[in-house]
């Protein structure tokens, strides 16, 4: 087994001092996390409002007659009229659009800092485009940067129900937990935006269930340490070096893959609402994208072992690239025959494989405060100080809740809105208490 980098030498031992050890510290950590999450939700709302009023990409002026028109292919540029659009196209936009320089405008995927944030909510750790199809990859993790566990729900708002279901299963569930190493923090969550910008206007199908991540050659054995029975992976050799391609994780309770379709063209795909027409198979993550269409997927991969690899940056650091296959909508290639990380040349002429290499320098820069100074420093730099201006955590919580209500405008004071915003901010328990009153 090769030596691990210094920042991957038993995460448990290195970060043990950071974990809350008393009820007071646990309450403080929980409150800080809740406030950070609410602050992030409010910043996202502010960015939505800013995007709606964004000026013309070319001349910088607001549209004189109604909403600005977006570039139909990339949805990243906006113009007040056709004159500005043509001028910008010749000057720079033709190149930027074709090369996927900017992701489409959506508050669901913010790759640049917003409001008073120092770091983006969705840093692009991997990015690739080929044949008019492109993707951006960011983290879909927890505030404290721990990897997810199989015992958790994909939807944090459902975690309470999930844990009750898992704990009430008796001996059978305990066996599942042992067999699948379900309690270990070993799942890397990724958020992926994929878009069709093909010039021939060919609709494509994206296959989320066939997504993979490829291990770094020197860390293949480290990644394999956390695997368990039934894991979705393929071992192979390339240039005489052992490799492993990890597919989307299997859920032993739901008997399905750990994936969700989060947004279609910027609109949230809500669990209990009718599926958008673009979604051909929600369970498999199969999505139809016409030219200009984009989708956001949430995927989980078993990369960690709960020990040496248990933090987001450790899992990202163990990976070389992210892979996502697609096919023309009229292509008859079966999903199982699409190109893969281990066989990229497979598949027919109407198929493609995005290979997005991870930017390891960008990963380390984003998590540097945590790696070098610990969780508290990371939380301060990425989410703000919970006690800025001498305000107590309790006062800060009340102030944050007040800001959320005020931000609702005409709906201010609506208890249902507050409850939903608390749930969206990951504070389900507080929302439950309010809802029961």
For residue 226, the SS3 value is coil
Pairing of strands 241-247, 233-238: antiparallel
Strand partners, 344: none
Question: One digit per residue, pLDDT tens: the chain, 437 residues?
Answer: 445 566 555 455 555 444 445 555 554 555 555 666 666 666 666 666 666 667 888 888 875 455 778 899 999 999 988 889 999 998 899 999 999 999 999 999 999 988 778 999 999 999 999 999 999 999 999 889 999 999 998 877 777 788 777 877 788 888 999 999 999 999 999 999 999 999 999 999 999 999 999 999 999 999 999 999 989 999 999 999 999 999 999 999 999 999 999 999 999 998 788 989 999 999 999 999 999 999 999 999 999 999 999 999 999 999 999 999 999 999 888 899 999 999 998 777 889 999 999 999 999 999 999 999 998 899 889 887 644 433 444 444 544 454 444 344 334 445 566 666 666 665 665 565 545 54
pLDDT of residue 387: 41
Q: Which residues of 201-226 are buried (b: 16+ CB within 10 A; e: fewer)?
A: ebebbbbbbbbbbbbbeebbebbbeb
334-340: long-range contacts at Cβ-Cβ below 8 A with a sequence spacing of 24 or more?
335/207, 335/209, 335/210, 335/284, 335/286, 338/207, 338/210, 340/210, 340/212, 340/234, 340/245
pLDDT of residue 353: 97
DSSP-derived secondary structure letter, 67: S
pLDDT of residue 203: 97
pLDDT of residue 319: 98
Taking the mean position of all CA atoms in its chain, how far away is CA 118? 19
pTM, two decimal places: 0.82
Q: Closest Cα to residue 304, out of 379, 249, 377?
A: 249
pLDDT of residue 396: 46
pLDDT of residue 193: 99
pLDDT of residue 50: 67
DSSP string, 319-351: EEEEEEEEEETT----GGGS--SS-TT-S-TTE
For residue 273, the SS3 value is coil
Q: Which residues of 47-76 are buried (b: 16+ CB within 10 A; e: fewer)?
A: beeeeeeeebbbeeeebeeeebbbbebbbb
Break the chain into its structural domains and give their ranges: 55-98, 120-376, 387-435
CA gap 29, 234 in Å, rounded: 39
């Amino acid at each position: 087994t090769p030596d691990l980098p210094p920042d991957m030498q038993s995460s448990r031992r290195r970060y043990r001092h950071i974990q809350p050890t008393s009820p007071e510290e646990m309450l403080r950590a929980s409150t800080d996390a809740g406030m950070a999450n609410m602050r992030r939700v409010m910043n996202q709302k502010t960015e939505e409002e800013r995007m709606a009023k964004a000026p013309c990409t070319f001349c910088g002026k607001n549209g004189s007659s109604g909403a600005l028109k977006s570039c139909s292919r990339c949805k990243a540029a906006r113009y007040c009229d056709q004159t500005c659009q043509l001028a910008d196209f010749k000057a720079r936009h033709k190149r930027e659009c074709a090369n996927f320089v900017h992701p489409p405008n959506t508050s669901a995927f913010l790759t640049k800092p917003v409001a008073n944030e120092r770091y983006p909510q969705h840093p692009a750790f991997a990015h690739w485009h080929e044949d008019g199809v492109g993707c951006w990859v960011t983290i879909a993790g927890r505030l404290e940067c721990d990897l997810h566990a199989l015992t958790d729900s994909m939807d944090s708002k459902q975690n309470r129900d999930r844990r009750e279901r898992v704990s009430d299963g008796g001996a059978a569930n305990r066996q599942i937990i042992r067999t699948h190493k379900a309690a270990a923090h070993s799942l890397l969550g990724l958020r992926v935006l994929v878009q069709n910008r093909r010039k021939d206007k060919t609709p494509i199908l994206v296959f989320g269930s066939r997504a993979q991540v490829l291990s770094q050659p020197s860390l293949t054995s480290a990644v394999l340490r956390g695997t368990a029975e039934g894991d979705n992976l393929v071992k192979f050799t390339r240039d005489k070096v052992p490799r492993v391609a990890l597919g989307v994780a299997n859920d032993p309770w739901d008997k399905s893959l750990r994936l969700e379709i989060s947004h279609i063209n910027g609109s949230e795909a809500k669990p209990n609402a009718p599926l958008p027409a673009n979604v051909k198979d929600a369970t498999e993550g199969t999505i139809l994208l016409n030219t200009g269409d984009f989708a956001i997927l949430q995927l989980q991969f078993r990369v960690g072992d709960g020990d040496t690899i248990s933090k987001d940056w450790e899992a990202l650091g163990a990976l070389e690239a992210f892979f996502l296959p697609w096919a023309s909508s009229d292509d008859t290639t079966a999903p199982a025959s699409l190109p893969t990380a281990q066989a990229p040349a497979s598949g027919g002429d109407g198929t493609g494989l995005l290979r997005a290499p991870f930017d390891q320098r960008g990963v380390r820069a984003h998590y540097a405060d945590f790696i070098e100074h610990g969780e508290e420093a990371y939380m301060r730099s990425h989410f703000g100080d919970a006690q800025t201006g001498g305000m107590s955590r309790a006062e800060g919580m009340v102030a944050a809740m007040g800001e959320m209500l005020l931000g609702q405008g005409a709906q201010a004071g609506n208890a249902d809105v507050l409850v939903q915003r608390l749930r969206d901010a990951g504070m389900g328990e507080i929302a439950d208490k309010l809802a029961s009153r």
